[in-house]
Amino acid sequence: MTGFAQMTLRGFLEELGSRSATPGGGSASALSGALAAGLVAMVARNTGGMDAVATEADGLRAALEELIDADAAAFEKVMTAFRLPKETPEEKVERSAAIQDGYRAAVDPPLRVCTHARRVLELAVLVAEQGNPNAVSDAGVAALLAASALDGAALNVEINLGAIKDDDYRTVRAEAVRELRHEAAVLRETARASVHAKLD
């Protein structure tokens, strides 16, 4: 599979809109997070003394771009497991184990999108509050995109967790996602308040 990050925006959207389940919402969430990180870096570069923020945002952008592919690849693995033979009892056991492994692997990329998007959102709040006021609407857009990336990825974590039979594994991650969502809602409001105060 070629890297989605090397596709044109037009081409990627064409793939996304096709019937095929990959790339899907998880990959789109990673892209949204990467765009948010790009905007944070731009605001930071237009503000004195924010080089470290720009550099950190660049790193997050690269990590989120990789997750566009990682999400699709993990999901393909689950689909492959579903196509394994299930004639004999042994095959059934093997297939079931492969499906469970696949789902666990498929939880990981969107969960990482959530944690990276949360950090992007924190940086968006920082540049909204302390960044160049001329770029405050860009900081606001960054916060909105990062929050939608986090929430969109969270839905993908949840549907994959729903298929996992290990209760402990599921509960720990479901709790982590709930927490991330809550934090995102708070950070998004903080960014909004700061942006609106500066635009007034």
Verify cis geometry, omega within 30 degrees of 0, for the bond prior to 23.
yes
At closest approach, how far in Å is the CB of 150 from other proteins?
Answer: 9
Interactions with other proteins, residue window 111-150 (CB under 8 A):
135, 137-142, 144-145, 147-148
Would you give the binding string for other proteins spanning residues 24-53, x where CB under 8 A is met?
xxx-xx-xx-xx-xxx-xx--xx-------
The yes or no reply on residue 95 touching other proteins (CB under 8 A) is no
107-126 residues labelled b (16+ CB within 10 A) or e (exposed): bbbbbbbbebbbbbbbbbbb
Interactions with other proteins, residue window 139-198 (CB under 8 A):
139-142, 144-145, 147-148, 151-152, 155-156, 158-159, 162-163, 195
Q: How long a stretch of residues is the chain?
A: 200
Spatial distance between the Cα atoms of 95 and 181, rounded to a whole number of angstroms: 33
Helix (H) or strand (E) holding 105: helix 89-130
- Give residue 62's Cα distance to chain centre: 12
Helix (H) or strand (E) holding 172: helix 167-199
The yes or no reply on residue 13 touching other proteins (CB under 8 A) is yes
Binding site for other proteins (CB under 8 A): 4-10, 12-14, 16-21, 24-26, 28-29, 31-32, 34-35, 37-39, 41-42, 45-46, 54, 57-58, 61, 65, 68, 78-79, 82-83, 99, 135, 137-142, 144-145, 147-148, 151-152, 155-156, 158-159, 162-163, 195, 199
